[in-house]
Structure formats: C-alpha cells, structure tokens
Structure 1
Amino acid sequence: MTTRCVRCIIWGMYLDLPGLEAFIAVAELGSFRRAASRLGLSQPALTRRLQRLEAVTGAELLDRRAQPIRLTATGTALLPEAQEAIGRLRAAIRRAVDPDRGQRIEIGCLPTLAVRHLGPVLAAHGAAWPESEVVLHESSATEIRAMLDANRIDFALAAIGAERWNVERVPLFDEPFFLVLPRSHRLAARESVAWAELRDEKLVSTHAVSENRRLVDAALDQARVPTTWRVEVRHLATAVAMVAAGAGIIALPASALPEPLPPGLATLRLLRPALTRRVGLLSPRERQLSPAARSLMAAIVTALRRVPEAALRCGPEAAARPAPPAAPRRGRALRPASPHG
C-alpha cells in the first residue's frame, strides 16, 4: 500500500475514526484484550471495528496468529499515518475547546538559523506558554517556500528572496558572506578577498536550488568568474567537512559558519561585491495565527533584531570578543534591517 493510498483511507470518504483508534491500540499494545481495555470496549466490539477498517483497506492489517500480534505490510504502512492523523485531530479539538491552551505551532526554518538563534527563544516561549507545542521543520529554502505555498506552516525563519504575493515578509537582519578555507590555503593569511580572486579555485557548492547557491552564483557572475564547482552537497555541515578535507573552498553567510570553527579552517570576508543575505520571517497572508504563534513570532523578531553586529561583521568567533576601540578592519558593520526592509 502506498503512502498516497494510506492518506486517502484516513482523509477520504471512508474515514473510520473508531476503526483507526482500535487499530492503533492493538498495534501499540500487541493484544486485543489490552486494546479493548484501553478503549473501554468488549473484545467482540473491538474486533468488529477492525473488520470494518480492513474492509475499507481491502487487506488484513494484523497477523492475528502471531503472539504478540504483529502488523502486516499494509498495517505497517498505515500505522504512522493513522497515529499522526488521530494526534492532529485530538490537538485540533483541544485547541477548539480552549484556544489559549494546547496550541500547536508549526515553523519552517533553515537548519543553521535554528541552531544559532532559536534555542533560547523557544525555551522562553515554553515557559510563557507551557501547553503550547512547537513543531520545527528544519528544511531548505525551497522546501520552506513549498510549505508556505501549501499553507502548511504558521511562519518561517529563512532567507528572504523572491517571495510570492501571498507571503508576508518581516526583515530582521542582513548578514555578509565569508569564504571558508583551510589555514594552509594561499589566501588564508588575508582578512578579505574579492570574488574575482576565486577564478582558479576549486569551489564546494550547496544544493543547486538553495538560496545560498543562487546568491553565490549571482556574485560570481557579477565578478565575471566562471563557476568551477568541484563538489556539490545538500547539507552545510557536509560542505564544511569537504573543505576541511581539502576538496575545495566555500562561500557561506555568517550564520551558517560553524561555531566554533573546526581546527585547520579560516574565514575571510568576501568583497567586491559585498554580498549579503537578508534573514526574516515569512508567513502566509491568509493564515490566521493563534495567540501563541503570534507571541512566538514577536519574540523571534525581538531576539533576532538584537543579533550582535560583531557576529554579522566578522563571523561567529568575533561575537565573543570585545569590540576593538578602532574602526573594524573587515569593513563597515551591517546594521539589522528596518521593519520595512
């Protein structure tokens, strides 16, 4: 049974909540007797519910000859979808009965931004909204935009790009790009490097549809540097590992730089052009946010508009050092963007 068929059984015209509830109980407990006790049913009543559900699927869901009872292949495909469906329905009922409690918030977020910025904000939100549930979808910018288009998430923390008309944007800060390279590299002793100087370098790239890749490609085109991608990866941690192994060098925005920087690696500010990435909150215009979601959005805006300028100017290692009395050596600091961009 395919996942699509499973979803049709759960959400289509044959929705059988009592049968799904009985199936989940037997699957989790491995016993008709214990499942009937959990649901407050007699065993014959439980069996009838399961038989009706199996009539809908057209296949057996349980191997009744095994002890404890095991799932068939169809049952194995159905179980996680059924558990998620019932869980979402219960959460929806809980929210409808008491909208100030038990609110589920679904957020899309670039993994690097989640690791660097969201932990303290979510901890404070949990203390203020103890019944709230936050689901964090750590995805690429492309996947986040797809979730926004489908109205599957309340809002997202991501790089702002060419958003569709139905997505609202709240800019938070702009961050520059840095070159990550081995300390043994010929450029490593420098404080900055122009994009044109990367003409003959072996470059490691993020995924072709990522927002970072789009920005880097644009900077290389502006500097008239032909792209010479030697390694392309999906995850930034993998990209940094490739650089550490000597497979090439990579351009990353400040918040994507590892903290602390792995031994043997260095970072240089990339200039001419001085490429920046704008980070902000994205949300579907027509989505009605719960009080808990609005509170969390406001907390993220407050926290991220205070991102230390040293971290944006010189990378994560500089944020922990006191600001020097003289003017910064790596160029003018970039101030967080205004609410209106």
Structure 2
Amino acid sequence: MPIHFDLADLQAFVAVAETGNFRKAAELVHISQPAFSRRIEKLEEALGVRLLDRNTRRVELTAVGREFARKSRSLLDELDATLLGIQEVAATRMGEVTVACVPSAAFYFLPQVIQRYHAEYPNIRVKILDASANEVLSAVARGEADFGLNFMGGAEADLEFKVIQEEPFVLACRRDHPLARRKSVAWRELKGHDFMTVARSSGNRLLLDLALAGVEDRPVCIYEAQHVLTLLGLVEAGLGVAAVPRLAMPPGEHPILASVALKDPVVTRRMGLIQRRGRSLSPAARHLYDMFEDLRRKRRTRSA
C-alpha cells in the first residue's frame, strides 16, 4: 500500500497526542495552527481512520489513535536515536530541547552542561524556560518542557525527582555590616536587623516558612521581593540583610556582598532533575538529561 504521509505528519500527530491541544502542538512543531490542522487531516485521510475526537474545548485520542500514537512515538524515537548515534549525522542533526529551571540553576548548572551538549550537537537548539519553582513544575507537568531543574517536585506523585545537590540558605549582607564578620548567625539574632525575604508566592519562601515555623523570635521582614536577585540588589544598596540560597550568591569574592552561615536551624533546599513520571524523553532530550545525570553522579562521588 503506498504511503501518503511523511515524518512531519507523524511528528505533528505525536505532538497533539502529548499536549492534547492543537495550539500548543502547533507551537511545538513550529508551524501555524491552520497548517497543523491540515497535517492531521492529511494523516487521517491517508490512514482512512479517525485518530482524534476534537471539539471547541478539547482533543482526545480515539482507541485507534492511542495505539497509533504509541507506535508513532516509538518509531520517531528509534529513528532519532539512530541518527544521533551516527557521528557524521549527529553533528548536523536539527531539533529542539526545552529545559525549565529556576534562575539559580540556570546560572550555576546549565552553562557547563549546555556547552558540552552544544559541542556534540551544534544544531540542536536548547530552549531554557527560566521561571519560578511553581512555574517550572507546571511546565514539566504540562509537557511544555522536556524536563526541569528545580528545588520542588519531590512531593509530586506524577513527577520523578533526582537530587543533584543540597544547599543551605545563607545570610546575605554587605561586607561593612556588623554580621559580616561572623562565621555563623542564628535566625533569632536577625530580629534586631532590617530583614528582607522573597514573597509568599515563592517556593523559597514556602521552604523557609515551614522550616522556621517553630522558631521563637524569628525575624520579621520589612521588604519583600519576587526574585532573589532583587533581594541581593537591595542588600547591596544597604537596605538590610536577606536569607538566600547559597547558589544565588555571586561566586568568588564579591567586593560588596558577604555570605554568612545561618543556624538554629540550618535550612536547606535540594536542587534536582524533574521529569514527568512514565513519559519517555526524546533521544535529543535524553542525551542532555544524561549529561545532567553525569554531573549529578560526579557531585555525589565528590561529596562521599
């Protein structure tokens, strides 16, 4: 039987099968929504079956569509893996991988891994969604990102979370601040200082509030900001001190900012890789994910 559809049609069908939405699927394959609809219609006509039931609100796979989606995804992944496995072809392979991550992870973890990935696959575009912890969770859960780097996700039933690094919250202050000369500071000692923190909508704030719930004389914040980098700017301007994740502090010796350990209690957060449970990554995304896994193993070996 002659085949009257191509790989682009299969890719379009797999995209809508995974997202359940024509608009999002069209964006994933980088074509307009009318052109996307024509591809799906062409595929259904070529096969002589209905693959999707769609109305104005939602798209659902038919029984035949579910089985065809599974086989199509497997076929495309196998082809992609074969092409990436051929050294001469891999260097010219096109594609896109989307990674969602919190800003501190984007700054600290991404550059070294992406540089290595780009050297092996220079034509595969890496799209970075740098967002809040809650937005990263949503992007991975909805399939808008292949995987993510986040300090939240371990409690989500539909997400797999693999720890890369555990880091403490530290006190950020100016070098000319009285606390800057201390090796460590207890949380209760911050009560007499102008204290700043991130807003309640932040995942970092949730971690801090839970950890400090039983602490007497905990510091009361006088300034709130949406982002940790904004807090550091306020600290640098001399408006007060702030509790921030250690990764958020500038690397090396900063001319203005100092970092002091916080204790009683020591509050930590775990940075890790997150991906949807039960969803296989494309070969291109899998190669990048494996590079982060390699980084994770190296860090665990060094800390052992």
Q: TM-score surpassing 0.5?
A: yes
Deviation at 1:236, TM superposition (A): 2.0
User: What SS class does the counterpart of residue 222 from structure 1 fall into?
Assistant: coil
1:299 pairs with one of 268, 291, 294: 291
1:156 pairs with one of 141, 148, 160: 148
Contact 1:121–1:299 (8 Å) recurs in 2: yes
Report the Cα distance in structure 2 between the residues aligned to 1:239 and 1:104, rounded to whole angstroms.
34
Report the Cα distance in structure 2 between the residues aligned to 1:274 and 1:261, rounded to whole angstroms.
23
Cα–Cα, structure 1 residues 15 and 105, in superposed 2: closer, same or farther, change >3 Å? closer
Return the TM-score normalized by structure 1. 0.60
RMSD value, Cα: 3.1
Question: Share of identical aligned residues, percent?
Answer: 31
Whether 1:244 and 2:262 are equivalent positions in the alignment is no
1:22-42: per-residue Cα shift (whole Å, max 9, x none)?
xxxxxxxxxxxxxxxxxxxxx
Report the Cα distance in structure 1 between the residues aligned to 2:77 and 2:164, rounded to whole angstroms.
32
One-letter code of the match for 1:103?
Answer: G
Contact 2:188–2:218 (8 Å) recurs in 1: no
Return the TM-score normalized by structure 2. 0.67
One-letter code of the match for 2:141?
Answer: D
Report the Cα distance in structure 1 between the residues aligned to 2:193 and 2:264, rounded to whole angstroms.
17
Q: Which residue pairs with 1:205 in the alignment?
A: 197
User: What SS class does the counterpart of residue 286 from structure 1 fall into?
Assistant: coil
- Within 5 Å, give how 1:124-139 maps onto structure 2: 124-139=116-131
Contact 1:201–1:228 (8 Å) recurs in 2: no
More strand by share: 2
Deviation at 1:301, TM superposition (A): 1.9
Q: Which residue pairs with 2:274 in the alignment?
A: 282
Deviation at 1:265, TM superposition (A): 2.1
Whether 1:194 and 2:212 are equivalent positions in the alignment is no
Report the Cα distance in structure 2 between the residues aligned to 1:108 and 1:128, rounded to whole angstroms.
21
Contact 1:174–1:277 (8 Å) recurs in 2: yes
Structure 1 unaligned segments of length 5 or more: list them.
1-6, 21-91, 311-334, 337-341
User: What SS class does the counterpart of residue 109 from structure 2 fall into?
Assistant: helix
Deviation at 1:185, TM superposition (A): 2.0
Report the Cα distance in structure 2 between the residues aligned to 1:163 and 1:153, rounded to whole angstroms.
19
User: What SS class does the counterpart of residue 180 from structure 2 fall into?
Assistant: coil
Deviation at 1:156, TM superposition (A): 0.4
1:16-65: per-residue Cα shift (whole Å, max 9, x none)?
329x9xxxxxxxxxxxxxxxxxxxxxxxxxxxxxxxxxxxxxxxxxxxxx
User: What SS class does the counterpart of residue 187 from structure 1 fall into?
Assistant: helix
Report the Cα distance in structure 2 between the residues aligned to 1:102 and 1:301, rounded to whole angstroms.
23
Structure 2 unaligned segments of length 5 or more: list them.
1-22, 39-72, 84-92
Larger radius of gyration: 1
Between the two proteins, the alignment pairs up a number of residues equal to 231
User: What SS class does the counterpart of residue 306 from structure 1 fall into?
Assistant: helix
User: What SS class does the counterpart of residue 135 from structure 1 fall into?
Assistant: strand
One-letter code of the match for 1:174?
Answer: E
Report the Cα distance in structure 1 between the residues aligned to 2:141 and 2:289, rounded to whole angstroms.
19
Cα–Cα, structure 1 residues 17 and 191, in superposed 2: closer, same or farther, change >3 Å? same
1:114 pairs with one of 93, 103, 106: 106
One-letter code of the match for 1:204?
Answer: M
Whether 1:254 and 2:272 are equivalent positions in the alignment is no
One-letter code of the match for 2:160?
Answer: E
Q: Which residue pairs with 1:173 in the alignment?
A: 165
Contact 1:203–1:231 (8 Å) recurs in 2: yes
Q: Which residue pairs with 1:17 in the alignment?
A: 35
One-letter code of the match for 1:301?
Answer: E
Report the Cα distance in structure 2 between the residues aligned to 1:240 and 1:141, rounded to whole angstroms.
18
Report the Cα distance in structure 2 between the residues aligned to 1:97 and 1:162, rounded to whole angstroms.
30
Contact 1:151–1:287 (8 Å) recurs in 2: no
Q: Which residue pairs with 2:133 in the alignment?
A: 141
User: What SS class does the counterpart of residue 246 from structure 1 fall into?
Assistant: coil
One-letter code of the match for 2:35?
Answer: L
Contact 2:167–2:245 (8 Å) recurs in 1: yes
Q: Which residue pairs with 1:39 in the alignment?
A: none
Contact 1:176–1:275 (8 Å) recurs in 2: yes
Cα–Cα, structure 1 residues 260 and 201, in superposed 2: closer, same or farther, change >3 Å? same
